[in-house]
Chain A
């Protein structure tokens, strides 16, 4: 079955770069997503990458995709205290599924001065 795995916790200093990693199982995924969840709030789409790309950059965010290793990463440059949140990697299920998402357990990012 589908499975998305992430490390659970990351602590960085303000101004440093953060790298959040994710591994997924379904090789047929067309889009892969990163969502952000702030305390007491729902999830918000942060960025996504199409499977025929290996990198996507959007301002401070860089997404890297290694399809061979089924590895996805999110890099946040110049991390700020406002980036403190839980970050979820998500992928669609295997072939034949409706347009739904399988989420990882989330990586809690803590930014300290």
Chain B
């Protein structure tokens, strides 16, 4: 089966500019995650969707980050305006399982978008 697709793979922008990332999860996966991975760190969850609804956005800097998953399939993550500290790899992942805690949670990751803010 096709994996999680992300685009673009690389993006370089100047601070205060806007940027958007796109993710297409594995077909049939209802749960979609966006992570931020800063160099030398593990992925940090930004937002979690179940179908087209948000179930967890507690770590999303809402003053500049937004995300949507309008039809419950593809998702976009936007940063506006970008700051230097937003330089990171943005990973999208999807899973088939229930969003409720306790079940096995196998997440499938895309290759990521590497963002550099100058």
> What residues of B have a CB within 8 angstroms of the CB of A92 in the complex?
101-102, 105
Inter-subunit contact A101/B107 (CB<8 Å) = yes
Q: How many residues of B sit at the interface, in one of the four size bands?
A: 20 to 34
Structural contact, B109 and A99, CB atoms closer than 8 A? no
Establish whether residues A42 and B91, one from each chain, have CB atoms under 8 Å apart when the complex forms.
yes
How far apart sit A97 and B83, CA to CA, in the bound complex (Å)?
Answer: 30
- Residue of A40, A45, A96, A105 near B42 (CB, 8 A) is A105
By beta carbon, the residue of chain A nearest B114 is: A40
Supply 10 further A-B pairs (C-beta < 8 A) apart from A90-B42, A105-B42: A30-B102, A33-B105, A43-B93, A45-B106, A88-B43, A96-B101, A99-B99, A100-B45, A101-B45, A103-B44
A-side interface mostly: loop
Q: Are B48's CB and A100's CB within 8 A?
A: yes
Among residues of B, the one whose C-beta sits closest to the C-beta of A31 is B104
Q: Which residues of A contact B (CB under 8 A)?
A: 4, 8, 30-31, 33, 40-45, 48, 50, 88, 90, 92-93, 95-101, 103-106
Partner of A103, one of B42, B102, B106: B42
* A98 and B43 form a contact (CB under 8 A): no
Q: How far is the CB of A8 from chain B (nearest CB, A)?
A: 8
Contact between A43 and B101 (Cβ–Cβ < 8 Å)?
Answer: no
Q: A92-B101, A98-B48 are in contact. Are A103 and B43 (CB under 8 A)?
A: yes
Which of A48, A96, A98, A105 gathers the greatest number of chain B CB atoms within 10 Å?
A: A98
